[in-house]
A and B are shown apart, each in its own frame.
Chain A
Amino acid sequence: MKLRAGQSLSSPVDTTTVVVIRAPGDDLDVTCAGVRLYDPRGGEPAPEGAADPGQMDGTQIGKRYADDDLGLELLVTKPGKGTLAVNGTPLGLKGAKPLPASD
């Protein structure tokens, strides 16, 4: 699927939801526990499939998972048990580089 920055996506097999922070223009296969993420407000039904027991590393709320080479970055808004992956490769946890509070 082609992703859009700002889009909210859910996992059909666990509680994970993410927001797309950055995405390339290309078609990507983005999955959680091996099953494709989908946009519940997009009108399409949830993809079928069972969670892959080998892809259950889990995610944490508020953390970003990214593939910098592809230019894909997802922010977890609700955590879950599955592993986030793109085109079969697990996404890496992005390190924090917060700025000093300035407001």
Chain B
Amino acid sequence: MNLTMLLDMAADGFGERVVVGSRDGGLTAARLRELAVGGAKAVQEAGANAIVYLAVNGPAFQVALFAAAYAGVPLVPVNYRLGGEQVSQLLANHPGAYGIVEARHAEVASRAGLVGPTPKEWLAVAARCAAGPDPEPDFAETPAVIIYTSGSTSAPKGVLLRHENLVSYVLGTVEFADADAEDAALMSVPPYHIAAVSNALTNLYAGRRVVVLEDFTPEKWLAVVRAERITQAMVVPTMLARMMDADGLDRTVPTLRSLAYGGAKMPPRVIERALREWPQVGFVNAYGLTETSSTVALLGPDEHRAALDSPDPAVRARLASAGRAVPGVEIEIRDEQGKPLPPGGAGLIWISGGQVSGEYAGTGPTVDDRGYFCTRDQGRLDPEGYLFVEGRADDTIIRGAENIAPAEIEDVLLRHPDVCDAVVVGVPDEEWGQRIEAVVVPRGGGQVTSAELRDWVRGHLRGSKTPDRIALWPELPRTPTGKLIRRDIVADLTSDA
């Protein structure tokens, strides 16, 4: 089973349907297959052993993803926002790759020995080579995609996503050709993020047209949703927060039926506001990692609405959960020694299933002998199987003898009506090992002070969980995928001191 099967089926089953881009001038499934086959032949002719993609998301990415599959080589989307040195280090792992490189990255790429067409040129190459017989790929054991995770403590590791993992994920969660011809999905996530890969596959298999927005702003997103009559979209939580917080914005989205979010924690205040602002939209919270081919647990639209309106506090609490395991996936919570815990027990989240890769370049599989992969996230399951994710284990603050989860304090801060965004980190301390500090982004025009916020936290949690200092910043340095690089925040806080 490999990715070409998905595109072959799409071309056979709904070849005339536009699946990439605008309805006018977009690529049909049949045309996408032709270009992918053409691209594959160009790659094989070049004798390349991988396709490195160093550009923004768009039709060239979709063609590259499948061209790699038809050529039997991995696709390696690279984070073009990394510094030149880091990009060079990543590219050094792939000598002999066929590069698709945007003009503005050409210099960095060529210094690392990577030369290749721009995305636009790539599409022309693929079109030129499309004629003639299909390539005969050697379906060896090469991965379909290699995505480098942003390591929090060390150099990025390449996650090997095998064809079986990705196809397993698609077949387990999507019904073939399920989308109406009028459906359209909007993606605002860069191509080096797992969601961009899984989204391209799931939408194609469902027969749903995908539109890409490269540089998110609330205004642009809303305009595209209206202009392209978008029915489904995926965002990271900060995007939704910005859309809900902006003043004087026209937030009507008449065609939108479904909004998925993930990649970072969603502040409850933001999702509650969005649920009320857009009553016709079904919200989906997705939890997953690069190593698990994207979503392993999800909280669906009905579950969101039920939680919002429920008189039962246990049900209401689920609005902050990641939902339940998707078909084919098992979730286990284990303590530090590896012993599985019963429902309610807090520990590390372990995941198993056909879509789980857990395999890194150079180090091989990291699943245990029962096929479980450790996410290094802290969490717990409730008795109905709802997963609550409490934060990265590595982010745990150790103050004296006490382990403190930043998430617990962040949740309290985010509940304050004058707080837009918040992060809690451990800062080195001679006496305690680490002390707790926080950075808060106050609501525009709000006059909240650090002292008030410390009192707020002290009023909700024990004194030992009150941050020693709360800095007020105009914004937090989140990545385009909504993640916080905590060590950068610690560095900023300690350099200010």
How far does the alpha carbon of A72 sit from the alpha carbon of B173 in the complex, in Å?
Answer: 18
Question: Could you say which residues of chain B place their CB within 8 Å of the CB of A103?
Answer: 195, 198-199, 202-203, 234, 260, 286, 294-295
Q: Tell me how far the C-beta of B344 lies from the nearest C-beta in chain A, rounded to whole angstroms.
A: 26
CB pair A102 B178 closer than 8 Å? no
Question: 1/0 per residue A80-103: CB within 8 Å of B?
Answer: 000000000000000011111111
Taken residue by residue from 187 to 208, chain B's Cβ proximity to chain A (1 for < 8 Å, 0 otherwise) reads as: 0000000010011001100101
Quick one: CB contact mask for A18-58 with B, threshold 8 Å, 1 for yes?
01010000000000000000000000000000000000000
A63 to B177, CA, bound (A): 10
Residues from chain B with Cβ under 8 Å of A75 in the complex: 171
CB of A71 closer than 8 Å to a CB of B: no
Stretch at the interface among B4-12, B37-45, B477-485: B4-12
Partner of A100, one of B5, B171, B258: B258
Asked if residues B175 and A100 are in contact (CB atoms below 8 Å), the reply is: no
Interface members, chain A 1-29 (any B CB < 8 Å): 6, 8, 19, 21
Asked whether A62 lies within 8 Å of B199 as measured between CB atoms, the reply is no
Does A61 belong to the interface (CB within 8 Å)?
Answer: yes
> Does B185 lie at the interface of the complex (its beta carbon under 8 Å from any beta carbon of A)?
yes
A17 → chain B, closest Cβ, in Å? 10
Chain A residues, CB < 8 A from B327: 99
Q: Is B300 an interface position by the 8 A CB rule?
A: yes
User: Is A102 a contact partner of B173 (Cβ separation < 8 A)?
Assistant: yes
Q: Is the CB of B298 within 8 A of A100?
A: yes
Closest Cβ–Cβ distance, residue A50 to chain B (whole Å): 26
Contact in complex: A62, B176 (CB < 8 Å): yes
CB contact between A77 and one of B8, B174, B175 (< 8 Å): that residue: B8
Asked if A6 and B164 make an inter-chain contact with CB atoms under 8 angstroms apart, the answer reads yes
A100 touches B260 (CB 8 A): yes
Q: A19-B5, A102-B295 are in contact. Are A96 and B258 (CB under 8 A)?
A: no
Whether B284 and A100, one on each chain, are in contact in the complex, defined by CB atoms closer than 8 angstroms, is yes
Taking CB atoms, residues of chain A closer than 8 Å to B185 are 101
Partner of B286, one of A62, A63, A96, A102: A102
Cβ proximity bits B229-261 to A, threshold 8 Å, 1 near / 0 not = 000101000000000000000000000001010
Contact A102:B13 (CB < 8 A) given known A6-B164, A77-B8, A96-B178: no
- Interface residue B371 (Cβ < 8 Å from any Cβ of A): no
Could you give, for residues 2-24 of chain B, a 1 whenever the CB lies within 8 Å of some chain A CB and a 0 otherwise?
A: 00010011001100000000000
Residue among B13, B173, B282, B286 making CB contact with A61, cutoff 8 Å: B13
- Return 22 A-B CB contacts under 8 Å, by A number: A8-B5, A19-B1, A19-B5, A61-B12, A61-B13, A62-B9, A62-B176, A62-B177, A75-B171, A96-B175, A98-B178, A100-B260, A100-B298, A101-B185, A101-B206, A101-B260, A101-B284, A102-B234, A102-B295, A102-B298, A103-B195, A103-B202
Using A99-B173, A102-B286, A103-B195 as known contacts, list a sample of 10 further A-B pairs with CB atoms less than 8 Å apart, ordered by residue number in A: A8-B5, A61-B13, A61-B176, A63-B176, A78-B12, A100-B282, A101-B284, A102-B173, A102-B260, A102-B295
Chain A residues at the B interface, C-beta cutoff of 8 Å: 6, 8, 19, 21, 61-63, 75, 77-78, 96-103
